[in-house]
Amino acid sequence: MYFFLTHLSFLDISYSSVITPKTLQNLLASTKSISFLGCFTQMFFFVICIITECYLLSSMAYDRYVAICRPLHYPVIMSTRLCHALLTSCYVIGILDSTAIVLCISRLHFCNSNVIQHFFCDTSPILALSCSDIFEIEILIFICAGFNLVLPLSTVCGSYVSILSTILKISSTAGKKKAFSTCASHLLGVTIFYSTTIFTYLKPKSSYFLGRDQVASVFYTIVVPMLNPLIYSLRNKEVKSAAVRILQKRQGLR
């Protein structure tokens, strides 16, 4: 669990590093601009982060499934080798998909307005600036988004159906409470992340609305990375105990 949480934290920091600094700069500056190379660099790393997190959250769901549904086999199934293989697959898929999408978009001609109707360089606002035929690229992005959202989400749903079925068979109330507590933080993070990304990327172009899509984007680019440390830490006894000890030490020093 902590192995995957470490890399989830790394992705959250990457989100913040890719998008938030430039967003804050544009909010404070009178002249809001970004270079062509800077825009596509931001898009490249953003797509890597979002696709990698999709698969990482599904890996974490599988980890919770094994821990609750097959606890005696957990050390054997979730071996170090499997954990590294799952993590490597998450990053490889993210990098390959991001490279393909960004290369396709960068080859378009941009002869219309250079004003990006968004607070960061996402695929849809950049495509809207192109005067080339973007139908094929839109289909490619929709297929990639569908595959990279539906497949991991199916894994998450399948894992939690099995987990719920196992929890309901537990006779003791304390056992049920402990099992629910183990999964609640991850399930909350998954719900916020997948609901906002699916709302943004898996819908017809005709239903695109700038203000509404920007609000959804804020959730999975800024709010979710900010909430994840709180969601996963405040429900963890070891982390809460460590925080209490630190506060007690500070009070003692005073």
- The reported pLDDT for the residue numbered 86 is 94
According to DSSP, residue 222 is labeled: I
Which range, of 19-28, 53-62, 93-102, 229-238, averages the lowest pLDDT? 229-238
**What domains sit in the chain, N to C, each tagged with a CATH number?**
2-253 (1.20.1070.10)
| pLDDT tens column, 43-99 | 999 999 999 999 999 999 999 899 888 889 999 999 999 999 999 999 999 999 999
Which has more confidence, 232 or 9? 9
Q: What is the mean pLDDT of the chain?
A: 83
Distance CA 14, CA 27 (A): 20
| pLDDT tens column, 97-108 | 999 999 999 888
Whether 188 contacts 231, CB under 8 Å? yes
Q: In this structure, how many other beta carbons lie within 10 angstroms of the beta carbon of residue 153?
A: 20
Output the pTM of the full model: 0.85
